[in-house]
Amino acid sequence: MVNHFFYGYSIADLLNSWANMGVFAYLLPFLMIFALVYGILSRTQILGENKGVMATISLAFGLLALQFDYVSGFYASIFPYAGMGLAVLLVAIILMGLIAPEANWAPFVWFGIGVVIFLFVLLSSISDMFWLGGTAIGLVNAAPALLAVGLVLGIMALIIWGGGRGGGGGGGGGRRTP
């Protein structure tokens, strides 16, 4: 029944035809840039309340950003990694809900997970770098060194900010009161 209705076309065929028409390379990045610029202009009211001016500037900004393929390439590089990061975040939400649903340390764990996912997405998209001319900067080869640096920085942060609350101290030397 479904195959008869679509005459042999699949979702993959539909998505491929959209890609051939430029929906993913031009239309969606333009809409995202337009919406972000328009939202920022309307929220800050930096140009007053004239929606026509805000729409014109947002339209020009979106079209000028897509004049070359840098933005399309950047979006094509960053959003697959962001999707993987969101999948990891979803798994972390499920596991945290099972392990410690009302723990007071959970916001710190969420912040740490968010930082790790952000760094992964950022470094992975920068490592692709085909949106800047096709040359990668070699972060894939430096992954063990970057992991070691991140681990050392994480341990240092844990020692600095995660230490005890007491003043420590030890020594005696003061006068005792009976």
Q: What is the pLDDT of residue 97?
A: 80
Half-sphere exposure (Cβ direction) of 156: Cα atoms closer than 13 Å: 6
In the predicted model, residues of the chain with pLDDT beneath 50 are 1
Q: What is the pLDDT of residue 80?
A: 87
- Could you tell me the residue ranges of all domains in the chain? 1-67, 70-162
- In the numeric block, which tokens belong to residue 55? 């729409």
Q: What is the pLDDT of residue 60?
A: 94
Rounded CA Rg of the chain: 25
C-alpha angle with apex 175: 169 to 178, nearest 5 degrees? 115
Contact 34, 62 (CB under 8 A): yes
Q: What is the pLDDT of residue 56?
A: 93
Q: What is the pLDDT of residue 132?
A: 58
Q: What is the pLDDT of residue 134?
A: 53
Measured between alpha carbons, how far is 41 from 136 in angstroms, rounded to an integer?
Answer: 35
Q: What is the pLDDT of residue 173?
A: 54
Secondary structure letter of residue 23 according to DSSP: I
Measured between alpha carbons, how far is 27 from 66 in angstroms, rounded to an integer?
Answer: 9
